[in-house]
Structure 1
Amino acid sequence: MRIGILTGGGDCPGLNAAIRAVVKRGAAEHGCSIVGFRNGWQGVIDGDAVPLTRDDVSGILVHGGTMLGTARCHPHKVEGGMEAVKDTFDHEKLDGFICIGGDGTLKAAGKVSKALNVPVIGIPKTIDNDVVGTDAAIGFDTAVTVATEAIDRLHSTAESHNRVMVVELMGRHSGWIAVTAGVAGGADIILAPEEPFDINKIAKRIKHRHRYKNFSIVAVAEGAVPAEGSDWDGESTINARGNPIAGSIGAQVTHAIEDATGFATRLTVLGYTQRGGVPTAADRLLGTRMGVAAIDAMVAGETDKFTALQGEHIVLEPFSTMSGKTKWVPEEMLEAARGL
């Protein structure tokens, strides 16, 4: 078999582990030829292909990002995009695609599979961990590790200067990073999209804490929003496309806390540092396991499905399981965050 592979959407640690696993497993166990496409679905549209051998992927396991490059491109949204994908598929004499990406990229994969009758297997990756159907996606563990370390480091500065430290973390629609890293790092207040906040209640909690502690750490997901009807005079933190404006909610929460409490309050926006750099052991392992499962599924004739971690096992889920849905942080985790 001759299989195409691509990475789409935002980069994250662990992508190279998945690419490596597909290439090495495909060649050694199934005798497959693997063709990589640069820059996601855009590379498929443009026919920008490169053959991948075991030598090509040697040593990439420890590297962050993706050796193939990536782009936010969805063929069904590009004029002539679907036709171009089919032309590339035929020209390269492919038997299927393995697509590594988040919600948008995998949704596009599902549309390609159905519209063109082309075999497609997906591998979920996103530091936001919001893909429905899988317990974890590639990149999440590394992002949480980076965010937790940042919160750990902020503790000493906050305590030394008697300050409130606000740290804004990625998470446009769900608060997985903020809640997980916030709990692991001992943040005193955690703000996630799942629970709109009241800034006055937050200020009250901080004032109460400062009766016995002279500092506080506030972890804020970039998609956090004030509760409807709450006393909030900040500007909108959502852009015209309906997405959070990076740095906006963190800055406004910082100013609001300082105004309401009188305590010196400072902001740290981690931004892209959360999805860059060396992948953790957990993300290397997850990427490898999902890559192996994806090429095995393709050879077995599966299609229109993605690999998913459920419990201790990698299974296959239909694209319909995750398409158009968001995996929210469960109430049990939110309750734990509140209680701490």
Structure 2
Amino acid sequence: MGRHAGWIALHSGLAGGANIILIPERPFDIDKVCAQVESRFATHYAPIIVVSEGAVPAEGGTMSLVSGDKDAFGHVRLGGIGDRLASEIERRTGKEARTVVLGHVQRGGSPTAFDRWLATRFGLHAITAVHDGDFGTMMALRGTEIARVPLAEGTAVLKTVRPDLYEEAEVLFG
């Protein structure tokens, strides 16, 4: 997850207390990553690194491919950046590095009361849109209101992580 946009990695990394978060929007410097790993081990704690599948090294990096195979949408299957990174960290620092690939196994847990309420509201508004014959729209949350939005508006532009948001999180990395 995170082929071109690092939202999931950024949010889960912050929520999970990660020490380093690597996303596609910001190519990473392996030397800096290893320095942060060493710094974390110096405090007698192991670092947690969250890596989006589209993360790339700054120096001539490319996306890490599982194979030349394509997925159901015609995209080349990505994967392996975590393993590549772990191997490089071990080689450079001498510290054991383990990878866990969450992929689609990771779920959000049991829904909260707010989640159930919001899903119900989305459903009711979607039914109303169908009743009105307003196809090609999706429901969006704008503040506390549900709004109909043309699908093209919701999907026309890839919404990547803004540099200022990553910089806020980056303050916590080292």
> Which ranges of structure 1 fall in alignment gaps of 5 or more residues?
1-169
Matched residues in 2 for 1:324 and 1:280: separation?
29
Residue by residue over 1:116-144, the C-alpha shift from the partner in whole angstroms, topping out at 9 and shown as x without a partner, is xxxxxxxxxxxxxxxxxxxxxxxxxxxxx
Q: Which residue of 2 aligns with 1:273?
A: 105
TM-score by length of 1: 0.44
1:203-222 matched pairs, under 5 angstroms: 203-222=34-53
- Give the AA of the match of 2:148: L
**SS at 2:99's partner residue?**
strand
Q: Which of the residues 22, 41, 64 maps onto 1:237?
A: 64
Query: Post-superposition shift, 1:212?
Result: 2.3
RMSD across aligned C-alpha pairs, in angstroms? 2.3
Q: Which residue of 2 aligns with 1:185?
A: 16
Q: Which residue of 2 aligns with 1:314?
A: 146
**SS at 2:50's partner residue?**
strand
Query: Post-superposition shift, 1:188?
Result: 0.2
Q: Which residue of 2 aligns with 1:305?
A: 137
**SS at 2:124's partner residue?**
helix
Matched residues in 2 for 1:174 and 1:283: separation?
24
Question: Is the CA contact 1:223–1:244 (under 8 Å) kept in the aligned structure 2?
Answer: no
- Give the AA of the match of 1:245: L
2:11 matches 1:171: no
2:163 matches 1:331: yes
1:27-66 matched pairs, under 5 angstroms: none
**Bigger Rg over Cα:** 1
1:25-104 matched pairs, under 5 angstroms: none
Question: Is the CA contact 2:138–2:149 (under 8 Å) kept in the aligned structure 1?
Answer: yes
> Which ranges of structure 2 fall in alignment gaps of 5 or more residues?
none
Matched residues in 2 for 1:285 and 1:253: separation?
41
2:88 matches 1:256: yes
Question: Is the CA contact 1:179–1:333 (under 8 Å) kept in the aligned structure 2?
Answer: no
TM-score by length of 2: 0.82
Matched residues in 2 for 1:266 and 1:310: separation?
40
Query: Post-superposition shift, 1:177?
Result: 1.6
**SS at 1:268's partner residue?**
coil
- Give the AA of the match of 1:330: R
Question: Is the CA contact 1:222–1:244 (under 8 Å) kept in the aligned structure 2?
Answer: no
Residue by residue over 1:140-174, the C-alpha shift from the partner in whole angstroms, topping out at 9 and shown as x without a partner, is xxxxxxxxxxxxxxxxxxxxxxxxxxxxxx32221
Query: Post-superposition shift, 1:316?
Result: 1.0
Moved over 6 A (4+): none
2:23 matches 1:196: no
Q: How many equivalent residue pairs?
A: 165
- Give the AA of the match of 1:237: S
**SS at 1:303's partner residue?**
coil
Question: Is the CA contact 1:258–1:265 (under 8 Å) kept in the aligned structure 2?
Answer: yes
Q: Which residue of 2 aligns with 1:4?
A: none
Question: Is the CA contact 1:257–1:265 (under 8 Å) kept in the aligned structure 2?
Answer: yes
Matched residues in 2 for 1:173 and 1:243: separation?
12
